[in-house]
């Protein structure tokens, strides 16, 4: 008998069913954390009963609404062996064929978000999907002049971004902050981690959910110390300012949030705690889980 979490979790936002799909988890290095002392980071991990070095969870999301089937990011595909790339099996487990996905909303073009867009041959895994992404993201990763000026350490990221987006090049829709890309689904530009890093706000009836992408990578550290960033933030100062602003908004507005690197199944609320914040995972309810068979 398997004791594993199936990596699928349903949450309703008005008439929209939002499903978190766990793609996997990988071990990070405490050296990825910038802006605070390394011993402060490991202390916070130990205080929250987490492993050191920390692990980063990767998830993506499915929206089912009014005849639409929408994926938000696609996970890391085969970019880290079998550690990532489980999102497609999660989709299969809930009976969603890749061809049924009509839209993919991309939060940003990092390897652990776009490699899952590919099939085994490097083609489009989601053959019928339009790809929606912030205009600053394609203007950065797909621009040879930008790439030529980027440091050697960043060149792989350009390769992965271009590879992930290439099969969709004829059906990419670029958008700006505030664009309503589908009924009730709005782009929220959260720049800094990458230039076009974007969360997606889903509103239906009286409910709202902000899927904030990579605002937080290490929940054991960054809620308590939101000034802590990641070495792969493209603009660390801007990422820090964006995180401060978004956490303040989430706490003040009592927003329900979810994120690609929060602890699965990722849904919850942010509250102020001391000089930082704390994350309160959403309490599971059988009503939401029972809406769709999970296999």
Residue corresponding to tokens 């050697």: 152
199-228: contacts with Zn ion (CB under 5 A): 214
Q: How far is the CB of 206 from Zn ion (least distance, A)?
A: 31
State which of positions 41-80 bind Zn ion (CB under 5 A).
none
Least gap, CB of 84 to Zn ion (angstroms): 10
Report in angstroms how near the CB of residue 153 gets to Zn ion at its nearest: 17
Residues in 237-276 at the binding interface with Zn ion, rule: CB under 5 A: none
* CA triple 113-114-115, angle to 5 deg: 105
User: How is residue 226 written in tokens?
Assistant: 């939101």
HEC states along the chain? CCCCCCCEEEEEECCEEEEEEEEEEEECCHHHEECCCHHHHHHHHHHCCCCCCCEEEEEEEEEEECCEEEEECCCCCCEEEECCCCHHHHHHHCCCCHHHCCEEECCCCCHHHHHHHECCCCCECCCCCEEEEEHHHHHHHCCHHHHHHCCHHHHHHHHHHHHHHHHHHHHEEEECCCCEEECCEEEEECCCCCCCCEEEEEEECCEEEEECCCCCCCHHHHCCCCCCEECCCCCHHHHHHHHHHHHHHHHHHCCEEECCCCCCCCCEEEEEECCEEEEEECCCCHHHHCCCCCC
Question: What is the closest distance, in whole angstroms, from the C-beta atom of residue 53 to Zn ion in the complex?
Answer: 17
Which residue lies nearer to Zn ion by CB, 73 or 209? 73
If the CB atoms of residues 23 and 112 are measured against Zn ion, the closer one turns out to be 112
Shorter beta-carbon distance to Zn ion: residue 160 or 168: 160
Taking the least distance from each CB to Zn ion, the nearer of 124 and 262 is 262
Our CB check for Zn ion shows the closer of 23 and 214 to be 214
Comparison of 94 and 218: residue with beta carbon closer to Zn ion = 218
- Which position's Cβ is nearest Zn ion? 214
- Cβ atoms of 143 and 195 within 8 Å: the answer is no
Contacts with Zn ion by CB under 5 A: the residue count is: 3
| 101 to 120: interface string for Zn ion, x by CB under 5 A | ---------x-x--------
Kindly state the smallest distance separating residue 110's Cβ from Zn ion, in Å.
Answer: 5
Please, what is the minimum distance in Å from the beta carbon of residue 80 to Zn ion? 12
- Binding flag, residue 23, Zn ion (CB under 5 A): no
Nearer residue to Zn ion within complex by CB, 194 or 204:
194
Shortest gap between Cβ of 187 and Zn ion (angstroms)? 18
Positions touching Zn ion (CB under 5 A) are 110, 112, 214
């Amino acid at each position: 008998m398997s004791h594993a979490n199936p990596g699928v979790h349903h949450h309703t936002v008005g008439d929209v069913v939002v499903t978190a799909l766990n793609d996997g988890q990988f071990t990070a290095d405490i050296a990825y954390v910038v802006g605070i002392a390394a011993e402060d980071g490991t202390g916070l991990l130990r205080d929250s009963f987490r492993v050191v070095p920390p692990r980063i969870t990767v998830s993506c999301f499915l929206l089912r609404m009014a005849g639409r089937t929408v994926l938000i990011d696609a996970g890391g595909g085969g970019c880290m062996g079998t550690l990532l790339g489980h999102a497609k099996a999660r989709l299969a487990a809930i009976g969603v064929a890749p061809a049924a996905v009509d839209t993919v909303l991309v939060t940003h073009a990092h390897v652990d978000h776009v490699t899952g867009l590919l099939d085994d041959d490097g083609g489009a895994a989601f053959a019928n999907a339009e790809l929606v992404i912030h205009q600053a993201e394609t203007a950065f990763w797909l621009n040879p002049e930008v790439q030529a000026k980027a440091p050697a350490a960043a060149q792989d990221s350009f390769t992965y971004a271009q590879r992930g987006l290439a099969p969709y090049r004829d059906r990419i829709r670029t958008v700006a902050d505030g664009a309503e890309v589908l009924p009730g689904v709005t782009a929220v530009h959260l720049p800094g981690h990458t230039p076009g890093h974007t969360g997606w706000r889903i509103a239906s009836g009286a409910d709202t959910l902000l899927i904030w992408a990579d605002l937080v990578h290490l929940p054991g550290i960054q809620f308590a110390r939101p000034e802590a960033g990641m070495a792969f933030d493209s603009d660390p100062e801007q990422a820090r300012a964006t995180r401060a602003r978004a956490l303040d908004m989430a706490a003040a507005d009592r927003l329900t949030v979810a994120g690609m690197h929060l602890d699965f199944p990722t849904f919850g609320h942010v509250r102020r705690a001391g000089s930082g914040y704390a994350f309160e995972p959403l309490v599971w309810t059988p009503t939401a889980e029972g809406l769709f068979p999970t296999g």
